[in-house]
Amino acid sequence: MEVQVSGRKVQLSPALRQAVETKLGRLERFLRGEHRAEVVFLEERNGRIADKRDVCEVLIDGAGHHLRARVAAPDPFAAIDAAVTKLEHQLHKAKSRVNGKGAARRRPAPGPAEA
């Protein structure tokens, strides 16, 4: 999987880039073929809330999958963890929809044995 990590008005440490590539590498077990992941970090400030929130947006495109997760957390490492958890859930739903019980019902029923 090709991973592109960027930040909007945020400095990204090499440790954070490495963590992003490691975490998104876990998603390859759900994916087949070539996929591209874009990860964007930004700071979200709210005048009513004293704390700043780090936002992580992850977009995955390729081989028929178009997934998106946006998570806000007090820490960028916590944000990427939560985003990967959301993406795992989305991919699991998509995979079970294709390979689950519904796929067996859509196939034509086998007829009587022809001799």
Q: 53 forms bridges with which residues in the sheet? A: 44
Q: How much is the pLDDT for 114?
A: 59
Give the chain's domains with CATH numbers.
2-103 (3.30.160.100)
Tens-digit pLDDT profile for residues 90-107:
988 887 776 766 555 555
- Taken in order 37, 38, 41, 45, the sign of the CA dihedral is negative
Mean pLDDT of the chain: 85
The proportion of the chain whose per-residue pLDDT surpasses 70, expressed as a percent, equals 85
Instruction: Kindly give the parts of the chain with pLDDT less than 70.
Output: 98, 100-111, 113-115
Q: How much is the pLDDT for 18?
A: 96
